[in-house]
A and B are shown apart, each in its own frame.
Chain A
């Protein structure tokens, strides 16, 4: 909690406060000191909004890059009720791995829309470069004391992108005991997502159709080209590989948490989470190469995953305050019914540099095993399995993040920080024999990314 008196910064905060208040149909509350026994610090809090903003840039070498902007507004009302509103906007461009394997020859792929195609050079992992999306997300969360030692919280989430809509609600109840040194909490969350991908939803293991309109403009709308008959036949062939235009997914989560103050310098937290996901869990843009005994691709088939997934996780975190520094270490073990299990270790050390600035190195290690239906390619000599995906994100992988954050308190009391991180993913072979030509190409290519972020609180 920030109790320091802040000098109101120039126009931005005032403008945002008016905008937020107008949006909510309320006027900024002026603390009534006459019949209120609250401290001046609290009275000041009641009458103002606190804003946090951030801009993040994420970029993979040769692949996806994303820019994300967040603004969060928080206000504490009388009786310690807290309202938090958050707006997130992000934009994604670049190339994404399709799941198809690299080959010793040039490969041609149909774009997801069916309009046009693209080529992948020999020896290169096929990447679909038509990946672009803009997403807008809104969150609202209300937290308030319900009774002595009980705190309740409820929130809503809406996220919309070109081909995806996600609606979510959550609720949380926390009980403090043992002189507020211990807290039990239980939380529920439910998401309803609708996916309406470009080009529709492909049938499981359907062959990638040919492009029916040789127009490189993915979003071009000249469907009535000069060669209408060829196009309509091509479009019919394309549509024959599609099941429907849109499909749904639901996610229900329950989480139990326990927080314990150990001593004046140390606090710990333990969580158990159970998550059930049902519905359309495929990635409609991902496929698998169907290869012959020489490892040469004969066809490309759309992936198929089970329509449900149960994930569970245990999370433990400890924070310890040394004389000056603060260390934050957490561990998560996750396992699911797709046979994926993962270990995540995350650690940060906050080192004060002066009264008003600090530096915080960050290290994260992640390791996961492959889903039981993960395979980097399909072999013609084998029967098509019930489920298969070559998406490296559900394959065996280890990853690490190395980063540093520098933060400072400005003379007007506002916080400014910079974060720079390096993230590397190293997919691994979970034990597949690569036939012929596939033995000479990289089926498990590493991905390197840079994360840069600027944050400003006012």
Chain B
């Protein structure tokens, strides 16, 4: 029973982050498993092929932003690598 208590407390302390992790993970799994029914035919890519629909539509803007926020905040990466690179942090 003691062990159960400890685990329960641990879970409660981290509850918000656990919920976020679980729901994001579930969303990813659901999407991945249902992906074969999603998507378009090659001739339906007119909009997706546009420059502004690229996931990173401006690589330079992204790199400059990453550099600013890496040096001013405790988080980095996520979209791309958040590694080292400068002595600004």
Contact = CB atoms under 8 A, between A and B. Distances in A.
A251 B69 contact: no
Nearest to B77: A273
Interface of B: 17, 20-21, 24-25, 27-28, 31-32, 35-36, 38-42, 44-53, 55, 57-61, 63-64, 67-69, 72-89
Interface stretch (A23-31, A335-343, A379-387): A335-343
Contact of B84 (A166, A261, A326, A328): A166
Given A264-B44, A268-B31, A326-B53, A168 B83 contact: yes
A269 B35 contact: no
B61 to A, nearest CB: 7
Contacts of A437: none
B62 to A, nearest CB: 10
Interface string A176-205: 001111100001011111010000000000
Nearest to B31: A260
Contacts of B48: 261, 264, 267, 321
Nearest to A269: B55
A409 B20 CA distance: 41
A310 B51 CA distance: 35
Contacts of B32: 182, 258, 260
Given A2-B51, A260-B39, A273-B78, A70 B63 contact: yes
A191 B83 contact: yes
B64 A56 contact: yes
B61 A317 contact: no
Given A1-B49, A326-B52, A328-B57, A260 B35 contact: yes
Nearest to A419: B61
Interface of A: 1-2, 52-54, 56, 58, 68, 70, 72, 86, 88, 90, 92, 133, 135, 137, 157, 159, 161, 163-164, 166, 168, 170, 178-182, 187, 189-193, 195, 249, 251, 253, 255, 258-265, 267-271, 273, 275, 277, 283, 311, 313-317, 319, 321, 326, 328, 330, 332-336, 338, 340-342, 344, 350, 358, 366, 368, 371, 393-394, 397, 399, 405, 419, 423, 425, 447, 451, 453, 455
B20 A253 contact: no
B73 to A, nearest CB: 6
A168 B85 CA distance: 7
Contacts of B51: 1-2
Given A271-B79, A321-B47, A70 B53 contact: no
A135 B70 CA distance: 15
Given A260-B35, A321-B50, A330 B86 contact: no
Contacts of A311: 75-77, 82
16 contacts: A157-B85, A195-B87, A255-B77, A258-B32, A259-B55, A261-B48, A271-B78, A271-B79, A283-B89, A311-B76, A316-B28, A326-B50, A326-B53, A330-B79, A342-B73, A425-B73
The CB with the most chain A CB atoms within 10 A, among B45, B64, B77, B87, is that of: B87
B21 to A, nearest CB: 7
Given A52-B59, A321-B50, A342 B75 contact: yes
Given A137-B85, A315-B79, A366 B31 contact: no
Nearest to B82: A275
A210 B84 CA distance: 32
B35 A273 contact: no
A334 B72 CA distance: 15
Given A159-B86, A191-B83, A193-B87, A453 B64 contact: yes
A316 B24 contact: yes
8 closest A-B pairs by beta carbon, nearest first, are A181-B39, A164-B87, A191-B84, A315-B78, A332-B78, A251-B83, A189-B81, A334-B75
Nearest to A274: B77
Given A264-B48, A330-B79, A399-B72, 8 more contacts: A168-B83, A182-B39, A253-B81, A275-B82, A316-B24, A394-B74, A397-B73, A451-B68
A439 B47 CA distance: 57
A455 B78 contact: no
B21 A170 contact: no
Given A157-B85, A179-B41, A333-B17, A319 B53 contact: yes
Contacts of A344: 75, 78
B87 to A, nearest CB: 3
B78 to A, nearest CB: 4
A182 B40 CA distance: 10
A456 B51 CA distance: 15
A189 to B, nearest CB: 4
A276 B64 CA distance: 23
A336 B78 CA distance: 13
> Which interface residue of B46, B52, B58, B85 has the most chain A CB atoms within 10 A?
B85
Contacts of A68: 64, 67
